[in-house]
A and B are shown apart, each in its own frame.
Chain A
Amino acid sequence: MSRAIGVMLLVVAASVLGACNPYLTAQSAAPPGRVARLDPVDGFWSIKSYKVELSVGVALAVTCAEGGPCHDLTVVSDDPAIATVRPASLGTLQPSGIASQATASAVVIVGKAPGTTRLRLRSREGTRDIRVTIVAPPAVRPVLIGAKDPA
């Protein structure tokens, strides 16, 4: 009986600890014909990680929060040749704690070249791994002046 209670406590502790990691939210839209999206990867109890899909040359603004904007936010790319991350200043207030507000904590992710890499997010509120896939933009069909469409 006491062993079962111990297991339950472990499970509850794990879920509570897991829930303490910060949450990410996309703050910008994809341009037409391009991809820019942030999606959570759900685990059994909570969000396990995040994944980002971006087109080459496209940027995506993302905020970080857990009970309030993240403190001491840093995000490092495993391969800056594929995706880079820049700190961002988003001049909006977000709820912080029960009755306070603070300036949003944000970064901008930029797609540089097709491929897959990982971003390592660190903050006082916890850590997140973000799997990033950068896709090539659609090919631009050249327009021939005076030529008839073969179709």
Chain B
Amino acid sequence: MRHLLLFSLVPALAAGCAMGGAMRQATLVGQCAADDVACSRRHPQAPIALGTRFHPDVAAEVAGTTTPTLRLESAAPEILAVEDGVLVARQPGASAVLISTDDGSVIDFVHVWVAPVTRVTLARRDGDRIGGAIGLAVGEDITIVPTLWNGAQRLSGDGDATWAVTSDTTVSVLRDGSSDRRRLRARAPGKTTLTVAPAGLTASVDIEVVP
């Protein structure tokens, strides 16, 4: 009887396409613009960096129905909390994030990992890693995004980073509405150093502005 039941379930499960959730009915991805390849929130498969927040975009695909009203709940809030629909990474580990309907019925769940940040690098908005000094002409802009790593693994989530330049008459650091990236505008010829400090670590890059 048991084997008969198991064999009967295999075709039913294989019919569902591979999706993010363990029950193959829902997905949980980051909120990113379609053309924003450097968006740190784009990597739902990556662990969330400790101390950062992940803004999820949840959708369900259940045959015969549009997506019902969904809510998130953490199985281990001490590791990964859910605050107003945002995942907050509190300590290293893993926690199931339950995706349920208004009445508490679980339609899917995703195990999400939290990892400490061991390294910070800087990248351009197009995702290209910054490996050396940057040269800008006066009036030129460049958008910088810090990338968080655990060893060789890129982490997701965005946190409150401190941005500072040694000479703000040379380069201005401007917000662009995103919490994790900044737009730099070259104002006057000279040299300066940009230092970004997210998650308790720092990354720096030298910038030279020419006329």
Q: How far is the CA of A28 from the CA of B98 in the complex (A)?
A: 13
B25 touches A91 (CB 8 A): yes
Count chain B CB atoms within 10 A of each CB in A25, A34, A47, A110 and give the residue with the most: A110
CB-based nearest A residue for B65: A91
B100 contacts the other chain (Cβ, under 8 Å)?
Answer: yes
- Which of these, B2, B6, B109, contacts A108 with CB under 8 Å? B109
A12 contacts the other chain (Cβ, under 8 Å)?
Answer: no
Number of A-B contacts (CB under 8 A): 107
- Which of these, B9, B76, B93, B96, contacts A140 with CB under 8 Å? B93
- B contact residues, total (Cβ < 8 Å): 40
Interface residues, chain A, CB within 8 Å of chain B? Answer: 19, 23, 25, 27-29, 31, 33-34, 40, 47, 55-59, 61, 63, 65, 86-95, 104, 108, 110-112, 137, 140, 142-143, 145
Q: A25-B6, A57-B94, A140-B92 are in contact. List 5 more A-B contacts (CB 8 A).
A: A27-B9, A61-B106, A89-B105, A108-B109, A111-B75
Interface residues, chain B, CB within 8 Å of chain A? Answer: 1-2, 5-6, 8-9, 12-13, 15-16, 22-23, 25, 62-65, 75-76, 79, 92-96, 98, 100-101, 104-107, 109, 111, 116, 118-119, 150-151, 201
